[in-house]
Structure 1
Amino acid sequence: MIKIILSGANGFVGSRLFSELKQGPGFQTVGLCRRLPQGEDSSGLDAVGDLQQADLSALLPGVDVLIHAAARAHIMKDEVSDPLAEYRRVNVEGTLNLARQAAAAGVKRFIFISSIKVNGEATIDGRAFSANDKPAPEDAYGLSKSEAEQGLMQLAAVTGMEVVIIRPPLVYGPGVKGNFASMTKLVEKGIPLPFGAIHNKRSPVGIDNLVDLIIRCIDHPAAANQVFLAGDGEDLSTTELLHGVGKAMGKPARLIPVPAALLQFGATLLGRKAMAQRLLGSLQVDISKTCELLDWKPPYTVKEGLRRCFERSN
């Protein structure tokens, strides 16, 4: 029996992972969250408050693996006065607080759910990001994740606790928020969208594929002290993804073929350059190291992942 602590157990990724771990044989899992959910099943959950002040001394004895999925997520319109300081407080200080306690308690492995933003914001000329690239974060969120990774690797070198870092790109699945949710709502309503001629390439990862990868990293010997990129193993344009969303929903995506350059120009005038980059630019990930080192492959295609996404949403 592998004893696991999972932080962020009520978040988008964490809740799906927590469900799988509770059902899977061979795992004994305690889920951590900032506060217990009201009016929902809270069995197996423990409230720990703010990460940077959390005290896990009563929970850590006998724990084999700590999976850290809690974080201050990327926020499109951050209203705090100093976003970088806030990201560092939660994503760096909070992460290292848990990791130091885990190492001191003899936890064997610490799995950190990071972000592809550590690699950067975009890829060019078909050159996909790889796990061995030099970190090149461009925003406060990506920088905080990169700094947390560096602190974890330093801690691993000093204490001997194994660290596994997983960097997902766009994660889609039931209940996801952000651009993906906004786009699916527009497709569902049949609203025409000007994305019928976008020839970019982006690498998404379905929630079920990501969860499967995390579980593979729990006890795989080759995962120790490695960085892995997550993905479905398929690159799609925004046009292709929206058509796939429409098919999965049983409602055709109404896409108008507006040139990407014109959309980019309009977005720049409106101050929406960052959003345009996510819709029009490319972000490809190379998961060959992940697949080869862990003897793993994504169990679901993008088509299957989208179908499962909307089957659960209905």
Structure 2
Amino acid sequence: MRSKNYLITGGNGFLGSALIERLMLAKDCSVVAPMRTATDGFSAGVNVLPFSGLNGRNEWSEALAGVDVVIHAAARVHVMNEVVTDPMAAFREVNVEATLNLAGQAAAMGVKRFIFISSVKVNGETTTPGRAFQADDVPGPVDAYGISKFEAEQGLQQLSLATGMEVVIIRPVLVYGPGVKANFLSMMRWLHRGVPLPFGSVRNRRSLISVGNLVDLVVTCIDHPAAANQTFMASDGEDVSTTDLLRKLAHALGKTAVLLPMPVWIMKTVAVLIGRRALTQRLFGSLQVDISKNRQVLGWTPPLSLDKGLDLTVKHFLDTRKT
């Protein structure tokens, strides 16, 4: 049986690098990874190609030669402090036009399966208690990022119908894990320093996914025959409030979280006054997903528990933090 050949975009990103590391544990595959910036540490089986960035005019013939499966993880991600004058156009150029250009060339080159890392934002921004998003819900994207991901999904589904190339769509929630950045890293730093935080009475429910679980789901979708032309939500399968997440992180750090029970309405008001309205949804709103379809269709359950995923994240933070 010949080895499998993969093209992975976003190979030096948080998910892409972890995915390449996992795939290269197998002895029967090779990986092509177009990157703007070369990344050290990949094994000899990874062919890193110089790459100037995603757009609808990229030429992919060299990278796609002999490739069986494309895993498209690169994207213009959600931007908290947008600087471009036309965000929708910027998101569409990368997330829609570049995606469909790559997929079209992949189909023409005989690629069998195209796995698209989309986003829960295709479903929407919030859920109500007891009503988690499901993969087959009617989409309800709100911001430019979510809209662009939904448009890419629609284009890929149409391309699959026209060409026969199998498409798999995966919509992750917030991804954490060793090396996580942004707000998740800030939370660990605050807790490690013992900073009192006003989040002692937040009763929301949020789904998260460790990068290890997301990689495992992607790898499952590479070969599973039932994954073809399906959409899957991605989470750890355990939901948690902001308050409980901080307590779990503090426990993993060997600390006691100092969480003050400030009323949520006060914190929301302050956030709006200082121009951080978007942050209130992440801290106080609920966003849950239902991954029962993954179990039913793929027989997939997350291999890592939420607590184990947080432990691995904290261990990396402690091992690499600057003293």
> What TM bracket, shorter-length normalisation?
over 0.9
Residue number among 62, 65, 78 corresponding to 1:74 in the alignment: 78
Deviations 1:15-46 (A, max 9, x none): 11111111124322122212324xx3465211
Tell me which residue corresponds to 1:261.
265
For residues 198 and 25 of structure 1, the distance between their equivalents in structure 2, rounded to whole angstroms, comes to: 47
CA–CA separation in structure 1 for the residues paired with 2:37 and 2:129: 45
Q: Take 1:196 and 1:46, find their aligned partners in 2: how far apart are those partners?
A: 48
Displacement of 1:204: 0.2
Q: In percent, how many aligned pairs have the same letter?
A: 54
Check the 8 A contact 2:180/2:313 in 1, yes or no. Answer: no
Using the alignment, how far apart are the partners of 2:100 and 2:199 within structure 1? 42
8 Å Cα contact 1:6/1:68 also seen in 2: yes
Return the offset for 1:228: 0.2
CA-CA distance at 1:270 after TM superposition: 2.4
Mapping for residues 118-157 of structure 1, pairs under 5 Å: 118-157=122-161
The alpha carbon displacement at 1:151 in A equals 0.6
Are 2:58 and 1:58 aligned? no
Partner of 1:301: 305
- 3-state SS of the aligned residue for 1:80? coil
Could you tell me how far apart the structure 2 residues matched to 1:48 and 1:104 are?
A: 21
Quick one: distance in 1 between partners of 2:36 and 2:231? 27
Aligned to 1:228: 232
State the distance in 2 between where 1:206 and 1:180 align.
12
Matched, 1:18 2:31: no
SS of residue paired to 2:149 = helix
Q: How many residues align?
A: 312
Match of 2:289 among 279, 282, 285: 285
Residue of structure 1 equivalent to 2:102: 98
**27-36 or 153-162: bigger deviation:** 27-36
Equivalent-residue separation in structure 1 for 2:88 and 2:314 (angstroms) = 35
> How far, CA to CA, are the matches of 1:71 and 1:299 in structure 2?
26
Q: Which residue of 2 aligns with 1:47?
A: 50
Q: 1:40-91: per-residue Cα shift (whole Å, max 9, x none)?
A: 3465211222222322212222211000000111111011111111111111
Measured after TM superposition, the shift of residue 174 of structure 1 is 1.7
Give the Cα separation in 1 of the matches to 2:50 and 2:205.
40
Corresponding residue SS for 2:62: coil
User: Which sits farther off after the overlay, 197-206 or 19-28?
Assistant: 19-28
Q: Which moved more, 1:23-32 or 1:184-193?
A: 23-32
Which of 34, 38, 44 is 1:32 aligned to?
34
Residue 211 of structure 2 corresponds to residue 207 of structure 1: yes
How many angstroms does 1:124 deviate by? 0.9
- Give the deviation of 1:256 after TM superposition: 0.6
Secondary structure of residue in 2 paired with 1:228: strand
Which is worse superposed, 136-145 or 42-51?
A: 42-51
Residue 258 of structure 1: how far off its partner (Å) = 1.0
User: Matched residue of 2:203: which SS?
Assistant: coil
Paired amino acid for 2:10: G
Q: Which moved more, 1:166-175 or 1:53-62?
A: 53-62
Q: Deviations over 1:103-132 (max 9, x none)?
A: 000000000000000000110132000001
- CA deviations on 1:159-214 (whole Å, 9 max, x unpaired) are 00000000000100122222212212111111110001101000000010000000
Alignment RMSD, CA only?
Answer: 1.3
Q: 2:279 aligns with which of 275, 279, 284?
A: 275
Distance 1:23 1:152 in 2: 30
Tell me if the contact between 1:13 and 1:207 (Cα under 8 Å) persists in the aligned partners: yes
CA–CA distance in 2 between the matches of 1:125 and 1:258? Answer: 22
> Residues 4 and 66 of structure 1 are in contact (CA less than 8 Å); yes or no, is this contact kept in structure 2?
yes
Q: Given residue 188 of structure 2, which amino acid in structure 1 is its aligned partner?
A: T
Q: 2:167 aligns with which of 159, 163, 168?
A: 163
- The corresponding residue for 2:255 is 251
Runs of 4+ in 1 over 4 A off after TM superposition: none
| TM-score (normalizing by structure 1) | 0.96
Question: Helix, strand or coil: the match of 1:28?
Answer: strand
Counterparts of 1:14 and 1:61 in 2: how far apart (Å)? Answer: 20
Equivalent AA in structure 1 for residue 300 of structure 2? W
5+ residue gaps, structure 1 = none
Residues 248-305 of structure 1 show CA distances to partners (whole Å, capped at 9, x for unaligned) of: 1112221111121222222222222210111000000000001211101000111000
Asked if 1:239 is matched to 2:240, the reply is no
Give the residue type in structure 2 aligned to 1:127: R
Q: How much does 1:247 deviate?
A: 1.2
- Counterpart selection for 2:118 from 114, 117, 125: 114
